[in-house]
Chain A
């Protein structure tokens, strides 16, 4: 395996510690095969490591041993404390360990529109809230099993933050924006086995559900969708600002 002296900088980028060097490191990764391979390995291994270690919890009686009898069963307290984002994150393990629907066909449009409806109904919880893509993108990149596209912010959109989702039997990245004061979500996943998407290199297709609209397309093996309350034609225009 080839090596590069800048691999420590790749770590910093993945950990959100690169600061203003982030753009330069990203450029280096694109041009350095060793660092590209290293970054992909680290992201994949980190994601599995997190799932594996987060599943390791102390026995039910530890909290009681320390603090005395509790008011409610530990599991229900934890659900309240965890919040939706964390629950989705930890829930990944449970979903991962039961028979996956990822091997069959699943409609990307339907799943993404349904998730965005839940996101709005749940008062827009985010796993990472930040307006700076330099913070949000590395955080998400480190937690998904694919490489995010170079460009993830549609023209004129203000970034709010990001989320990790588990839909259609796989991990998705969701970046959340505001456009013309309306919330929109950009969903990204590996495209394998997904339906409801056009051929690569063609214009986005539109979809609608529960009062939400969306524009969906494929690019470099990824499935992408922009969804929100804006008209589908407007979302399609935003999607085209991201197409390579």
Chain B
């Protein structure tokens, strides 16, 4: 097998293995199913068309995530929606969380509600915070791999991830408190 064929097969395999994860990242950024699928398709067309840049890609998986991410950012720019970067800790509202308010759901209904609340909270997060959660928490990337995908230092991954988790916690706590208030008024 010639090297170019070998590379193509390897790229094909890595892309297929990561197809769903790449879609999830695209969806996290674009928040529209069809557009996320289109972004993944665009990424594959680009990757299949150009192949690996010679000598410049140590981790093809991370490179593919980076391509999908960049294509999503292009689409967001076309929509005039930007990745909002939260620059200071003070942007995070430190709302009081009721003790054990989000205890693990015991019933199917509560579980479904917890999933829906969490997805909505992801939608409410700034995209840069949602994407770090998608990469590190959902796709279980190491901090170093996430840093390569996002093209930021590892230290920024750490601080951004911390802001993301605290923001998610605050959004869920506020949502929980609102739900409790509404139920008490019924």
Contact A51 B143 (CB under 8 A): no
The verdict on A118 contacting chain B, using a C-beta distance below 8 Å, is: no
- Residues of chain A within 8 A (CB-CB) of B97 are 1, 41
Taking a contact as CB atoms closer than 8 A, the residue among A67, A98, A99 that contacts B12 in the complex is A67
Q: Whole-angstrom distance from the CB of A54 to the nearest CB of chain B?
A: 7
Contact B106 A100 (CB under 8 A): yes
Contact B107 A103 (CB under 8 A): yes
Give complex CA distance A97, B107 in Å. 8
Contact A102 B106 (CB under 8 A): yes
Which residues of chain A (77-131) have a CB below 8 Å from chain B?
A: 81, 93, 96-100, 102-103
Contact A8 B41 (CB under 8 A): no
The verdict on A202 contacting chain B, using a C-beta distance below 8 Å, is: no
Q: How many residues of B contact A (CB 8 A)?
A: 51
Chain A residues with a Cβ under 8 A of chain B:
1, 3, 7-8, 11-12, 15, 17, 38, 41-42, 44-46, 48-59, 62-63, 65-67, 81, 93, 96-100, 102-103, 145-146, 170-171, 190
Tally of A-B Cβ pairs under 8 angstroms = 121
Give complex CA distance A163, B140 in Å. 15
- Interface 9-mer from B2-10, B58-66, B110-118: B110-118
With a 10 A CB-CB cut-off, give which of B15, B112, B115, B143 has the most chain A CB atoms. B115
- Residues of chain A within 8 A (CB-CB) of B33 are 58-59
The verdict on B134 contacting chain A, using a C-beta distance below 8 Å, is: yes
Q: A8-B162, A45-B172, A56-B24 are in contact. Are A98 and B118 (CB under 8 A)?
A: no
Name the residue of chain B whose CB is nearest to the CB of A144: B104
Contact B40 A1 (CB under 8 A): no
- Interface 9-mer from B77-85, B163-171, B178-186: B163-171
10 pairs, CB–CB < 8 Å, chain A vs chain B: A1-B96, A41-B102, A53-B24, A56-B27, A58-B33, A59-B37, A65-B41, A66-B41, A97-B112, A171-B104
Contact B115 A46 (CB under 8 A): no
